[in-house]
Amino acid sequence: MVSLTVPEQITEDKLKDLLREMWTIRYFDEKVDEFFAKGMIHGTTHLAVGQEASASGACAVLQDKDKITSTHRGHGHCIAKGAEVNKMMAELFGRTTGYCKGKGGSMHIADVEKGNLGANGIVGGGIPLAVGSALTSYMKKAGYVTLCFFGDGASNEGSFHEALNLASVWNLPVVFICENNQYGMSGPVKEMVNVPDIATRSEAYGFPGVVADGNDVIDMMNVTNEAVERARNGEGPTLIEAKTYRWKGHSKSDAKKYRTREEEKEWRAKDAIKRFKEILVDEAILTEDEAETIRTQAKRAVEDAVDFAKEGPMPTKDDLLTDVYA
């Protein structure tokens, strides 16, 4: 066991894997950003560069049987819950080798076998789905917990309040994780929410709300682990607010003119990957050379995913009406 204060199931090997995973998430989104700029990927996408710790830290404490629901900014959640980056990249390239056979794109990646119930293009759309998943676990005595990721903007949606209320009334095994990246599209959260912490909104529904450092993977692990164990033990839901920051714009067409370069520099100095790597080196869990090897391996995995995606076939007109339910 390492000397860090982490959940007991987190080994040194797991910590190394988390560093690799966070780098993979970072490189995946940066590569997607590059290809959108070149016109090689069509549609739209929402990147989570800078938010890697909230996804990796939260999912690190889950069991294989546990579930997640994701958002329109969900690549990191998918990777953290075990998605194959090859199939993810192929999906964004519109190839039949992708998760949705090239028909879903960035906002519809799901892997039910891995417990990923899917990204969602509707703001707040995954919140009631997570409560439904938790209800299934409760009624079938399945013993799994559902993590529900959503953004600060979704906390003003009716689905948020209805779902939290129902989860509380029925005491369901669900953990709500609000990734507060400071902006809902171009609007700063301080102009959209008149409380300093979104986590306090849980008080209206009678269960705990906790603020976590969304740029600290260790804090995310510890806070989420406590909430997950609470849910698994039949003590009901928790609302976690992970305070973080997205380095890129809301979507590929966002020039970020509504925020200052000084603000961006301040948050980039809190880079979750750099902070975590330095901790692992300071704790002698790995050396600088080993950390560099991990980074290189993650970058290579993403480059391999690009090659896999490019080699996959495009859908044909005969695929147009397959997988369509009427």
DSSP letter string over 45-88? ----TT-HHHHHHHHTT--TT-EEE--SS-HHHHHHTT--HHHH
pLDDT over 60 at 2, yes or no: no
- Taking the C-alpha atoms of residue 26 and residue 49, their distance in angstroms, rounded to an integer, is 6
Do 127 and 155 form a contact (C-beta atoms < 8 A)? no
Per-residue model confidence as pLDDT tens digits over 232-267: 999 999 999 999 999 998 988 888 889 999 999 999
Cα separation, 40 vs 44, in Å, equals 12
User: For the residues 128-142, what does the mean pLDDT come to?
Assistant: 98
Q: Which of 4-8, 197-201, 202-206 has the lowest mean pLDDT?
A: 4-8
Beta strand 67-69 with 209-213 is unpaired
Q: Which residue has the tokens 């190839």?
A: 95
Q: What is the pLDDT of residues 281-316, one digit of tens each?
A: 999 999 999 999 999 999 999 999 999 999 999 999
pLDDT digits (tens, 9 = 90+) for 176-186: 999 999 999 88
| Amino acid, res. 63 | Q
Domain ranges of the chain: 12-319
pLDDT, position 3:
58
**E strand residue ranges, 181-261:** 183-184, 187-188, 209-213, 238-243
Note the CATH architecture for domain 12-319. 3-Layer(aba) Sandwich (3.40)
* Identity of residue 320: L
| pLDDT tens digit sequence for 80-95 | 999 999 999 999 999 9
Q: Which residue has the higher pLDDT, 310 or 43?
A: 310
